[in-house]
Structure 1
Amino acid sequence: MTFDAVFLRELGVGVLIFLLSRFFIRSIVRNSVHLPPGPRGWPILGVLPLLGSMPHVTLTNMAKKYGPVMFLKMGTCDTVVASSPDAAQAFLKALDHNFLNRPTIAGATHLGYNGQDLVFANYGPKWKLLRKLANQHMLGGRALNDWAHVRASEVKHMLKAMYECAKEGELVVVGDLLSCAITNMVSQVVISQRIFSNKGLESMEFKEMVVEFMIISGVNIGDFVPCIAWMDFQGVVGKMKRLHKKFDVFLSKIIEEHMKSSHERIGKPDFLDVVMKNLEDPSQERLSFSNIKALLLNLFTAGTDTSTSIIEWALAEMLKNPNILIRAQKELDEVIGRQRVLVESDLPKLPYLEAICKETYRMHPSTPLSVPRMATEACNVNGYYIPKNTRLNVNIWAIGRDPNVWSNPLEFNPERFLRGKSAKVDPTGVHFELIPFGAGRRICAGYRMAIVVIQYILGTLVHSFDWKLPNAQELSMDEAFGLTLQKAVPLSAIISPRLLSDAYV
């Protein structure tokens, strides 16, 4: 045996002994403090081999045995999972200040410009500036009203394309049309132009990039066993780097072309104009080009994918439960009639439509496991000790299906939000039994926009068309796990117009 071979063998044995010793020593230390209950898991890998392809479901089942505050090892990382409204509130309200930062993960490093974005950046001056700019000029209440005409314009484009499909008897692939429309809503606010046609190859390729982004962001074993991350066993990091290059070309082109046309928007700046000013403003925290690209990446991925998936799930549930679709159409007809399309000012008069959206948030949250946070300091929750640097995941999917909170939780029943105490529950992070966008200071920055867009588009689709499945096609309600919860089988349907033909022009 050569010297190199002996050295490598002894090095491997040494590393293994070190890791095992560290595991057992830390186990002894943990036994001396009152940690939350949870499964022990395997040495080094922890519970990772137990999670399967649907971690949110596995963790829900584990919580039934170990309780709503559960401590486990995800690889070598201490992790606590909150699986009830009270547990979520204990972390995201009472201890929100201690869980404002994110752990370092490959998705943030290789896709999010090394954690320079709004989703994964650590809490601090730059994060606050990104959040402030996004709220003031795009996602906040006032900005949302200012851009209402953009949403109306894009919905008209989508309706016209769908009307043509209906006349030709073409099958509508719901996710493709939704992704195109919502991406164009974002792009009109960000760069003052639509970037995709309604039925173009580019928009479908972009949607595939976004879906891949969400799927591979949540499946890297190296995030949980950092000492082996460099090996990239799953090939996920390689995929991330290749996908990042595609997005970087896309975003660089947008910024370059936008800068060339800046003189055309003097006195009427769009969102990117406002953000770019911070490259030169010495009076406050400056943003880098990486910050700006990372922020745009957030808006064009999370900003489109989450709303698309919720609308697609809602339509699927209505096709599965035709009486719900009929009742929704009846409400829309009574409020709007059939001579015109829905406008945003109609939404407050449509409580059943709102209830359908809430019920979809409950059963099909776009983010089943919250984006992980990390404890800045050790703390105590419900009498349990939570060590410093412990990662926090809130199982939003489990909370929405908790039988202690919801009656018949596996039944899609919008009426639950029309009566009793559930009628007052809203999804804005105030009521912890329904937190599809998270809660606390790191609640999803775009939650206001998402709520409006989802209700507006879903209402428009239900009001404007009758929906049915193609002959012999079964409706799959299977999930595909990732950072967001996609339908495993995209929804396709046959549609027919319900309104006067002039309404679609």
Structure 2
Amino acid sequence: MEYTVRFFQLSQLFHFLKNSLHYLFLPMIPILSLMIIKKIVCINSRKLNLPPGPKPWPIIGNLPEILANKPVSKWIYKIMEELNTEIACIRLGNVHVIPITSPDLASEILKKHDATFASRPITMSTDIISEGYVTSIVVPFGEQWKKMRKIIASELFSPLRHQFLQDKRNEEADNLMCYVYNNADLVNVRVASRHYCGNVYRKYFFSRRYFGKGVEDGGPGVEEIEHVDAVFVLLKHLYAFSVSDYVPWLRVVDWDGHKREVKKGMGIMKKYHDSIVEERFNEWNDGSKTVEEDRLDVMISLKDVNDNPLLTLKEVKAQVTELILAVVDNPSNIVEWTLAEMINRPELIQKATKELDEIVGKNRLVQEYDIPKLNFVKACARESLRLHPTMAFNVPHVSMNDTVVGSYFIPKGSHVIIGRDGLGRNPQVWKEPYEYKPERHLKNDGSDVTLTEPNLKYLSFGAGRRSCPGVMLGTTMTVMQLARLLHGFTWSAPADTSGINLVEAEDDMFLAEPLLAVAKPRLALSLYNFL
């Protein structure tokens, strides 16, 4: 009897469940369907191939290859050439590094999938330089980046601020001519141009040209040389394929010595910056300073909604250092390469000076309001940006999700690097890509030539969320110093040479040797008297 009752109970329970399943699971059908579809899409995505690349070793990937091939950038381009591809995949540890040299693929990354590739990698050098990621340029995507990006775009590099600081830029354009005039017999153009950029930066943030006593000829003192040299040391190691970035536990032993060099460079920057920033903070806090004179004042005086300082002392110090890294290298490299190319082809100098004489005349110096009309001068700068970029690759973009680019699967966490010289020297895009031809950038209708390249046929100021907010400043600094040098002086190679040796350095993309040239004043002497 007992078994009969239990059997009846179980039968009733089964019947109840059978009739209830429809009602229990009906609301879950859409959710289950979405889960199944997502799983299918994920599986299909993973069936897509990674971009072609060298076969990786187990666990360590292609780390042995980057240790054996220096500079790594040239090895990457060689691999891509051998594979006949404009997108590749190189696995370093557990990180997929994706180099790209196609404008179409670059546009997919920086425009179509901009939101996906809006982050930055965590590296030894960026951690140290950004003081633990409190800045903007090298900081991974997140609230700190959003905060700092907004401040830089709206408060530091706005058109209003650009106009406000024009007098400081003019002073350094005059000082550049002073230095060249005083050293006309043999000008080190690299020194002149790099320190013009450094001077503009120091005026922008510190309202001073010199950290020390200064030099009578207008050139850099010992302190300024040390300061700018440290900038280029940091730039060299910023994203230098350090092994410790892909095998983090190696940071303890500093396998390739990068950490030592970065800390040394940062020590020099702090030596010159920190005391100035701290003193200025105190002046604003005690009320002895109330008027904004430069961008350091702007950063310190910013307030949040509760009228508290928007930026901490640490954030200001770190952001000041990061911004100088973004200011100095490109304009100075462009000017040096442009003059070197033009000295070897005097007809280009003649064409540029003819344009300058027609627009500016010989009774005054070039001013910023002349820049929109100097199309050939800007075309020369554009051609140098295309053919002679400062670095082989741009700042890496990190994929925040699995993505498909150009029919290839890009896993989440991949480091995508856009090839600067790979784009600018791409034979599928540029006719005679290794020839210096400024005329290719002139427009048939005579309209304004700019240094930006929206179609990413070469990389100038980037694109998308992580593009450079200092386009106006970068353009002005580049064109202004180039125009002043071409307008004010006639340039030639030193007498004991047959021309300028246009050879890249082995480990970077600068001229192998600093450009030394003779500068003969070509304007009325009265225009140089005030210098």
> Contact 2:389 / 2:421 at 8 angstroms: preserved in 1?
yes
Is residue 255 of structure 2 the alignment partner of residue 233 of structure 1?
yes
The corresponding residue for 2:266 is: 244
**Cα offset for 1:123?**
2.2
Aligned mate of 1:467, from 488, 491, 498:
491
CA distance in 2, matches of 1:422, 1:211: 37
> Contact 2:101 / 2:422 at 8 angstroms: preserved in 1?
yes
Aligned mate of 2:78, from 55, 61, 66:
61
CA distance in 2, matches of 1:61, 1:420: 36
CA distance in 2, matches of 1:70, 1:423: 37
> Contact 1:83 / 1:395 at 8 angstroms: preserved in 2?
yes
CA distance in 1, matches of 2:473, 2:357: 25
**Cα offset for 1:94?**
0.6
> Contact 1:368 / 1:397 at 8 angstroms: preserved in 2?
yes
Is residue 516 of structure 2 the alignment partner of residue 492 of structure 1?
yes
**Cα offset for 1:279?**
7.4
> Contact 2:239 / 2:395 at 8 angstroms: preserved in 1?
no
Is residue 203 of structure 2 the alignment partner of residue 178 of structure 1?
no
TM-score normalised to structure 1 length: 0.86
Is residue 402 of structure 2 the alignment partner of residue 408 of structure 1?
no
**Cα offset for 1:260?**
4.8
| Structure 2 counterparts to residues 264-275 of structure 1, below 5 A | 265-275=289-299
1:376-401 CA distance string (max 9 Å, x none): 11111122111111111011210000
> Contact 1:278 / 1:287 at 8 angstroms: preserved in 2?
yes
> Contact 1:40 / 1:46 at 8 angstroms: preserved in 2?
yes
Aligned mate of 1:370, from 361, 386, 394:
394
CA distance in 2, matches of 1:96, 1:311: 31
> Contact 1:363 / 1:412 at 8 angstroms: preserved in 2?
yes
Counterpart secondary structure, 1:380: strand
Matched residue type, 1:237: K
CA distance in 1, matches of 2:445, 2:362: 34
Give % identity.
27
Shift of the 249–33 alpha-carbon distance from structure 1 to 2, 3 Å rule, reads same
Structure with higher Rg: it is 2
**Cα offset for 1:62?**
2.9
- C-alpha root-mean-square deviation of aligned residues, in Å? 2.7
Q: Which runs of 5+ in 2 are unaligned?
A: 1-43
1:196-232 CA distance string (max 9 Å, x none): 5332122111121112111222332212333433221
> Contact 1:427 / 1:435 at 8 angstroms: preserved in 2?
no
Is residue 195 of structure 2 the alignment partner of residue 188 of structure 1?
no
CA distance in 2, matches of 1:485, 1:421: 34
Q: Which moved more, 1:180-189 or 1:97-106?
A: 180-189
Shift of the 284–477 alpha-carbon distance from structure 1 to 2, 3 Å rule, reads farther
CA distance in 1, matches of 2:123, 2:309: 25
The corresponding residue for 1:13 is: none
**Cα offset for 1:54?**
3.8
**Cα offset for 1:290?**
2.4
Is residue 145 of structure 2 the alignment partner of residue 127 of structure 1?
yes
Counterpart secondary structure, 1:98: coil
Report the number of matched residues: 473
Is residue 235 of structure 2 the alignment partner of residue 218 of structure 1?
no
> Contact 1:125 / 1:285 at 8 angstroms: preserved in 2?
no
**Cα offset for 1:471?**
3.0
CA distance in 2, matches of 1:148, 1:436: 23
> Contact 1:314 / 1:356 at 8 angstroms: preserved in 2?
yes
Is residue 507 of structure 2 the alignment partner of residue 479 of structure 1?
no
Aligned mate of 2:278, from 235, 253, 256:
256
Counterpart secondary structure, 1:479: coil
CA distance in 2, matches of 1:500, 1:137: 40
CA distance in 1, matches of 2:256, 2:63: 18
Shift of the 347–280 alpha-carbon distance from structure 1 to 2, 3 Å rule, reads closer
Is residue 221 of structure 2 the alignment partner of residue 206 of structure 1?
no
TM-score normalised to structure 2 length: 0.82
CA distance in 1, matches of 2:195, 2:288: 26
Q: Which runs of 5+ in 1 are unaligned?
A: 1-28
**Cα offset for 1:83?**
0.9
Matched residue type, 2:86: P
Is residue 394 of structure 2 the alignment partner of residue 379 of structure 1?
no
